[in-house]
Amino acid sequence: MIASYIDHTLLAPDASARAIETLCEEAKTYHFATVCVAPYRVRQAAQALAGSGVGVTTVVGFPHGANGGPMKAAEASWALAQGATEIDMVQNIGAVKDGAWDMVAKEIRQVRAAIGDVTLKVILETALLTPTEIVNACKLAQEVGADFVKTSTGFAGAGATVANVKLMRDTVGPHFGVKAAGGIRDFATARAMLDAGANRLGVSAGVAIARAENAESK
């Protein structure tokens, strides 16, 4: 079932407590992998999902990745204390563009040290990177202890593409995590991302996608 691959996402800055409540109820109904919410909403989501088997993902250094590694590590640590079960951190995109790979690696290591063995996804923001930068960022995230590479925040004007997901999967091999996020609004696109190599999907249209799969299977 496609639902098991979905991080049911609501990161809009104006998302209300009621909207988060609805998100969590939907996640329980459709058995999504996690909900993905802003740090401020983690405690509410964790309480709403307690005992359900649905995890709570939150974002760190979001959406531009421009704050320092110690701040990202502190943010991640605080999120875990609120009940987060997975962390999606935005890599230092400016450092990538500078070719400052040591800085990028240092920040990922700092977040990893802060969260222990909790699942860590590194958001590359592929729309802002060249193919070579995507490959190098994937290799680096893998080398320094992340669990996933993720295409996008959804806030950079463009999201996941099949081509970039395939490039990421080809780079990291068959056993590392690849999360496609941004612009995945229907079942056909979600299926295409999985076929390209994604094994997690960040979507705000999770209910529509799950319903479409259910309708197709009848």
Q: Which residues are catalytic?
A: 88, 150, 179
Spatial separation of the C-alpha atoms in residues 153 and 182, rounded to whole Å = 7
What spatial distance separates the first Cα and last Cα of the chain, rounded to whole Å? 13
User: Which alpha helices (H) appear in the chain, and where do they start and end?
Assistant: 17-30, 42-49, 69-82, 93-98, 101-115, 131-143, 162-172, 187-196, 206-217
d(CA 71, CA 112): 13
174: DSSP letter: T
